[in-house]
Structure 1
Amino acid sequence: MPVNPQIAEGDTSLAERVKHAILRRVRARVKDVLFFVVLPRAYRNASRQPVSPGKVLFLENKESELPESFQVMWSRLSDMPGLTLEFVSLGETRVRLRRYYQNCIAFAKNVATAQYVFLNDASNVVSCLPLRPETKVVQLWHGCGAFKKWGMSTADLIFGGSREEILRHPFYKNLSLVTVSSPEVVWAYEEAMVLQDEPGIVQSTGVSRTDVFFDDEYLAASRSKIQRLVPAVTEKKVIVYAPTFRGRVAQAEGPNALDLAKMKALLGDSHVLLIKHHPFVKNRPAVPEECADFAFDVSDKAGINELLCGADLVISDYSSLVFEYSLFERPMIFFAYDREDYADWRGFYYEYEELAPGPICETTEEVIEQIRLADDSFDSSRVKAFRAKFMSSCDGRATDRIIETVFRGDEAA
């Protein structure tokens, strides 16, 4: 008897749904066993050894190299006597799942004898461990201010999980200190990290990574690096376009809404465009060949801190880099063509139109017009007010204050 193709197709679709549902349940069960049983047990067994005085771990979830958010602190602690520093990467997005789990177990054993742990992102691994009180965990975070929502603030939004899911495998437990860029944003971090009942953990010490923006040698070296990468910047104004990612972390996509050909036609004689995609974005939109002498994707060639140092103007959307860039008090343009969808997807801590310290654009034509206006008549007052509100604790001495807070009274200091 002939098979109705629609029925066959429906059966296949149903089978796929059943298969994925089973896989989700299996993964959830494996995750429960790892975080509720395996990692705590590995930690307890290793905790039979005493804490090693001065042992410092820097934990990175994804990347294989020391990220910018750790570099200033690492450099400073390297010069302090009595400390032994180790960088640990779990390789979450770079290795197979089995290898990642092995890395987590190895870290659980390693951290059992650490006196200090520095984080720059959420960590369900650190959060699941029965950490002993001799170990201090410092969350340096990877950004400043409070722009798009994250953590518990996204509960029940499309981007986030349910409150039950977030609390089942928390990401922000066992923290001794969370460093933020100003008193204004303490509430947002307490909300996102579920720390409202633990006052004093989130402190406006300033953010360590921002100290480089007050270092003349770093500024000069960053500009020189950009000139070597893109020699055209020596003769033209530099626009840095650094959008945040779209979608979920594991399938992050970079936006491709700017018409680079039109920008080149109208701005190419006086400007160059440096594009920096979010690190989560692996398949990046290609720069058209005809724009290769105007637009340059430097995502793998320069850090965002370095690019901000050399930028005459920044175009972003919902990225926290605008807080760091406000320290330069230079023009910013917000290309937020999808902000209503993004607000529904993830949400903002402040009303977007009130927060943005620069013009909000929805088309390439509007972006071009605002670039021309910024060249001729930039009013820095909005950026200065934005900096005063959200970056008041970032003054070039944040790392000093963090070290004083963390190591005060400890023999290793």
Structure 2
Amino acid sequence: MPPSPAARFTFARGNAAKLASLPRYLTGNLRTRFATRDPRLWVFGSAFGLSDGALALLRAARRLEPSVRLAWLVGNADEARRARSLGLDWAAKDSSEGFELTASAGVVAVTHGFGDVNRYALRGATIAQLWHGSPMKKLHADSPAALSLGPLNRFPPARRLIREAYRRGTRRISLLPVASETFVPFMCSAFDLPRERVRVLGEPRTDVLFRGSVAGRRAAARELLERGVPGLVGRRALLYAPTWRDGEPDPGVPTDRQWRRIDAYCTATDSVLLIRPHPLGVGSYGHTSRHVRLIPPTVLPESMPLLWGIDTLITDYSSMAFDYSVTGNPIIFLAPDLEHYASTRGLYLDYATVTGGRWRQDWDGVLDALENLDADAAARERAAGRSAALAALAHRHTDGRSAKRVAKHLAELTLRA
């Protein structure tokens, strides 16, 4: 189910909350001004919970530096239970213990923003911003939407204040690892960082895409999918994964007629359409049948371990396209709002370059593309070639050791400085 209107996160709400929290930031800066940071204490957090790049980095750091204390900062009771089940040292990020851990840590690792840990205790830390994907859409200071204040946009001082708040915050980042040289200038610009802090070390979150044999990756991904999705065993898996639109509804939701056509296509091809909306996405994905299954993060928390088990990806501007491309399987781009999205959020890369000049406006176009792939071996070969070209653009490191490279770099910045 999508979040209720009152609960929907938007950039405007988030930015207004940042401005309202300025006194707490000032208090935190004062309390940590002369704090002594312990290079042998590293803290981690993620808006995705105990998963993704932060968990991969924690595990790599544990193997690389066994004597370092590694603590996870949780945001709710479910995360606390998972931390206990994984045997991790943990604390609630907004508690006094969470503040003290963040204020004392030599290294702080986040995947989204400083709110992944205790945002008021970061002064003086070595901060690793792992991010959560290679950007196709513009981020942070590069995007007008990301700096929105809603009704307060009418006041130039407020706009200048939030822009400067973003800049001052992101300049504290010590390391932002990326998957390839393609993304270095984008991250430097979005986070206002010098190039030496944006390193092509690979993304820890993607290590699972490259470890083991291709057959082993596919088998492991299918096992995860079949365990989490009833009725998938032996059937082809199609995945629809739209990106977030800052609180606006997903324009790619099928119509009633298109849902019926989706069911008919899946019946004819023994397929299941898996729908994975963004955790903050808005839209009605209420259509259910034995051919359509919703797999939100509450059901299957991590996307990366699933991708080798997907036969075709359908997406729009999501970084998942770059990740999925390493499988060599077809990607169908569904972009019904390209002009609006490009003008309001902005894209780093030319969409025609990313998509090979082919994208669909609606689900009828998507289904036409699927039927063409089924009927035409040459079309499938062309699709595989486009995926391979996208993978070459997006990934330098394919050895499954990016988390180790990032952990080693952080150790060199702190433990062996």
Q: TM-score under structure 2 normalisation?
A: 0.78
The match for 2:59 among 62, 75, 80 is: 75
Q: Is the 8 A contact 2:252 2:363 kept in 1?
A: no
CA distance in 1, matches of 2:122, 2:111: 20
Match of 2:88 in 1: none
- Residues 120, 142 of structure 1: 8 Å contact kept: yes
Q: Which runs of 5+ in 1 are unaligned?
A: 1-22, 95-100
Q: Aligned runs of 1:68-217 on 2, under 5 Å? A: 68-79=52-63, 80-90=65-75, 103=94, 107-123=98-114, 131-132=123-124, 135-144=125-134, 146-155=135-144, 162=159, 164-170=161-167, 171-195=169-193, 198-216=194-212
Q: Is the 8 A contact 2:313 2:331 kept in 1?
A: yes
Deviations 1:341-382 (A, max 9, x none): 111220101121222247300122110111122233311222
- Measure the CA separation in 2 of the matches of 1:273 and 1:352: 25
Would the aligned equivalents of 2:253 and 2:283 in 1 still touch at CA under 8 Å? no
Shift of 1:392: 2.0
Cα shift at 1:261 = 1.9
Q: Identify the residue that residue 33 of structure 2 maps to in structure 1.
A: 44
> Between the two proteins, what is the percent identity of the paired residues?
24
Q: Which has the higher contact order (CA 8 A, sep 6+)?
A: 2
1:383 aligns with 2:387: yes
Distance of 1:159 and 1:29 partners within structure 2:
12
Amino acid at match of 1:69: G
Does the CA-based 8 Å contact 1:54-1:115 persist in structure 2? yes
Tell me, which stretches of 5 or more residues in structure 2 are unaligned? 1-12, 80-91, 154-158
Residue type at the aligned position of 1:187: P
Which residue in 2 is equivalent to 1:310?
309
CA 275–104 in structure 1, closer or farther in 2 if over 3 Å, else same: same
What residue number does 2:22 align with? 32
Structure 1 390/238 Cα, relative in aligned 2: closer, same or farther at 3 Å?
A: same
The aligned length equals 366
Distance 1:203 1:24 in 2: 28
2:401 and 2:73 map into 1 onto residues whose CA distance is 26
Preserved contact between residue 357 and residue 383 of structure 1 (Cα < 8 Å) = no
Once residues 14 and 323 of structure 2 are traced to their aligned partners in structure 1, the CA distance between those partners, rounded to angstroms, is: 39
Deviation at 1:208, TM superposition (A): 0.7
Q: Distance in 2 between matches of 1:293 and 1:387?
A: 33
RMSD of aligned C-alpha atoms?
A: 3.2
3-state SS of paired residue (1:287): coil
Rounded Cα–Cα distance in structure 2 between residues aligned with 1:29 and 1:266: 50
CA contact (8 A) 1:78 1:85 kept: yes
In the alignment, the residues of structure 2 paired with residue 31 and residue 149 of structure 1 have an alpha-carbon distance, to the nearest angstrom, of: 25
* Residues 56 and 34 of structure 1: CA distance in aligned 2, closer, same or farther (over 3 Å): same
**Which of the two has higher C-alpha Rg?**
1
Change (3 A) 1:67 1:368: same
Q: Residue 103 of structure 1: SS of its match in structure 2? A: coil
